[in-house]
Each structure stands twice: as structure tokens, then as C-alpha cells.
Amino acid sequence: MRERPAEHLAKAPSGPCRNSIEQVADERAFHSKYFFEPEPIRDYAARMDPFDELRAMIEAHGWAVRNVSDADPAKCLSYTVGLTAHGHPEVVMTGLPPKVGSAFLNIVGDIVVREGGEFRAGEVTTELADGPAMPVIEISDKSDLTAVDAIYGDVQAVQIVWTDSAGRLPWEPGYANPPRSQRLLDLSERSSDVRTCCWSRDFADDRT
């Protein structure tokens, strides 16, 4: 049973109940103020927005990170939700395990929200890790950003592309990772040749 607030203990009924309208009214008022009848689970679930928790996280921190996992590793990706409200494109990274993708994108969120930084298409960044710069490309395919679409609608988004251990990018000759190691979400000619799966062992060994 929920504990009653200490300052109102004196008002709680003690001893035999008095058979008076005033006493019954006092008890009902006290109960309605400090105790809550559980609402039917079915009714609560019907009213609950599946993105309420995500909105609360955005409200508290300024952004959230959403991870997409699938039996088909070609569909795994991580993306921010909330940077739109700060006048910045949402940011996506593909082909990474959720913990790694979240770690990178939380750095992105911190830079954008707390430091006023930017990640713009056509630029490169060295903010996320030591080593070669990571290109930022504009995204054309936003179909997987379902949480962004649900909260903000159709917005701008960019992708940060990570390199292999030798600093080569997926479209460059000699790229050490498997041909399907990182999906590119723009519609450039290079993207048509770069198919995806999930993260490569080469990347994990190099960065940990």
C-alpha cells in the first residue's frame, strides 16, 4: 500500500468510523487525493503513444538514439531523433552494432545540442574518433527513420560514413571490409555499388 504523506497522518481516520456524512466525505476526499485506483491495463494501452518514452528522453536530454536491428543485417542502423528541434538534420550511421552506433551518435548529439556544432552534408568530421576523417553525406532514403517520421514528419537527415582500419571508405579501391559492410543511404552512383550487411570484425578490432 502506498505510504501516506506524513503531514496528513493526523487527518487519517483512527478508531471506529463515525457514521456521519462529514466523515465519509473527508475519507473519500483523502483517498481520492493520495490513493489512485489502477486503471484497466487495456484502457491504458489503448491510450498510450508508443513514442511517449522517446519524447520524454528528447525532452530530458535534447535528443535520443534509435537502433534498428533485423534478421537481415543489411537493414541494421542507428539514428538520432530530436536534432530536428535544434535546427539540425538527424544523423544516421549504418553497419554498426547498437552499442557502437549509440556511442557515436550520442557524441554527435552532445556536439550539436550542447556545443552548437554541426554535421553538414559534403563535409568531413574528425570529432567522433581518432584517425581518418569521416565523410558526411546527404540521405535520400529515409524510409527506416520511422521514429523521426512519427514525431517530426519528413525532415532532413545526413549519414556519417566510417572508414576501415586503413582509412579507406566503402567506395574506394582496397576497402578492407566485406563489400556489404556499410549501407549508403544516398542515391549517388557510388551507393549503387555498395551493398550492406552488418559490422565487420576489422572495424571492431581496430576501434576497441
Question: Could you report the per-residue pLDDT of 33-45, keeping only the tens digit for each?
Answer: 444 445 555 554 4
Distance of alpha carbon 26 from alpha carbon 156, whole angstroms: 57
Question: Could you report the per-residue pLDDT of 87-107, keeping only the tens digit for each?
Answer: 999 999 998 889 999 999 999
Residue 77 has what pLDDT? Answer: 93
Residue 189 has what pLDDT? Answer: 52
Query: How distant is the alpha carbon of residue 15 from its chain centre?
Result: 53
Q: How many other CB atoms sit within 10 Å of the CB of residue 111? A: 18
Residue 180 has what pLDDT? Answer: 74
How far CA 106 is from CA of 68, 81, 102, 110, 121, in Å, comes to 16, 11, 6, 6, 19
183 CB-near residues (< 8 Å, 6+ apart): 74, 77, 94, 95, 194, 195, 196
Q: Are 144 and 81 in contact (CB under 8 A)?
A: no
Indicate the domain borders of the chain: 52-207
Q: 197 vs 51, which has greater pLDDT?
A: 51
Residue 28 has what pLDDT? Answer: 46
Distance of alpha carbon 8 from alpha carbon 38, whole angstroms: 22
Q: What is the mean pLDDT of the chain?
A: 76
Q: Is 34 exposed, middle or buried (0-12, 13-18, 19+ CB in 10 A)?
A: middle
Q: How confident is the model at residue 47 (pLDDT cuts 50, 70, 90)?
A: low
At 20 the three-state DSSP class reads coil
Distance of alpha carbon 181 from alpha carbon 169, whole angstroms: 11
Residue from 158, 187, 182, 186 nearest 170 by CA: 182
